[in-house]
Structures are given as C-alpha cells and as structure tokens.
C-alpha cells in the first residue's frame, strides 16, 4: 500500500518548499493531490517519485518545458526514447555553451585581477577596465 503524505511532509522528503509543490501543481507538471474530508492535500509515493524527478531535473538545469516534455514521454514507457535523448543532448549543448562563456569570463576576470597593482583607486586597473569596455580582451565578441 502506498504511503500518504501531507504537503509539509512531502516537501520535507523532497527537500523543497511547500510553495514549490503548489507551483508545480499550478503549472501542471505535478498531478493534483487527493483531498481529505478537511480539504487538505494528500500525496502518495507516486507524487514523491515525480517530485523527486522534477527536483533532480531542475538541479541539472533542465527547463520546466523540457521537464514537462520528459514527464510526458515517460508516461508512455513502450515508445522509443529518441525524443528523450534529443532533449538531453540539446541541454548538454546549452551547458557546453555556458561553460565556454564562463571560461571567457574567467579569463577576463583573471586578467583584470592580475593587472591590479594594489595602489590607489585613481590608478586601479580593474576600475579602468570596467569603465572602458574597449580595453577588454573579448571586446566585440559578445
């Protein structure tokens, strides 16, 4: 028999906020909970599994639209997983793009910090570089 949870217990087990669960219900990626006679929400193990899936997907940076698509695809277990693979590969490509951008950002910040001689603010190279974008090494690349 499936375990039953009130919303607070579900939030605690899934390590999220009650408001997050309500939001996921409102946007339709969490199924609506059953209601007790006192109108309190009652959740089951399947709600916990779905919420855990959503939370893990969010931690990996998947968008809510991607999660909605993944959940929809997972609801039909006999179909091919090609669409799921495509979603994951597209997300990986986005992550790789972000990493590349962050590497450029890191290099520029390292250059700025290295240029700082620790003198007075009037001679601060960091302030000068931040004030004049033309002095940045990646100027014109954004």
**For the segment 37-50, what is each residue's pLDDT rounded down to a tens digit?**
898 999 999 999 99
CATH entry, 1-62, from 3.30.413.10, 1.10.1660.10, 3.60.15.10, 2.30.140.10: 1.10.1660.10
Mean pLDDT, residues 105-130 taken together: 82
- Does the pLDDT of residue 127 top 90, yes or no? no
pTM of structure: 0.78
HSE-up of 109 (CA within 13 Å, CB side)? Answer: 6
Domain parsing of the chain, residue ranges: 1-62
Q: What is the CA radius of gyration of the chain?
A: 24
- 1-27 pLDDT, tens digit per residue, is 678 999 999 999 999 999 999 999 999
Rounded to the nearest integer, the mean pLDDT of the chain is 90
Alpha-carbon distance values, 91 to 60, 71, 82 (Å): 9, 16, 14
User: Both ends of the chain: CA-CA distance in Å?
Assistant: 56
Separation in Å, CA 28 to CA 23, 63, 80, 124, 135: 9, 14, 24, 52, 48
């Amino acid at each position: 028999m499936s375990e039953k949870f009130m919303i607070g217990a579900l939030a605690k087990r899934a390590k999220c906020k009650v408001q997050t669960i309500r939001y996921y219900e409102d946007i339709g990626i969490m199924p609506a909970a059953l209601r007790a006679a006192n109108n309190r929400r009652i959740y089951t193990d399947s709600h916990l599994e779905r919420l855990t899936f959503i939370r893990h997907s969010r931690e990996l940076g998947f968008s809510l639209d991607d999660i909605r698509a993944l959940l929809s695809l997972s609801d039909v277990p006999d179909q091919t997983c090609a669409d799921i693979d495509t979603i994951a590969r597209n997300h990986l490509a986005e992550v790789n793009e972000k990493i590349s951008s962050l590497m450029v950002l890191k290099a520029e910040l390292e250059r700025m910090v290295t240029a700082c001689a620790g003198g007075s603010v009037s001679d601060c190279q960091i302030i000068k570089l931040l004030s004049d974008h033309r002095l940045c090494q990646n100027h014109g690349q954004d």
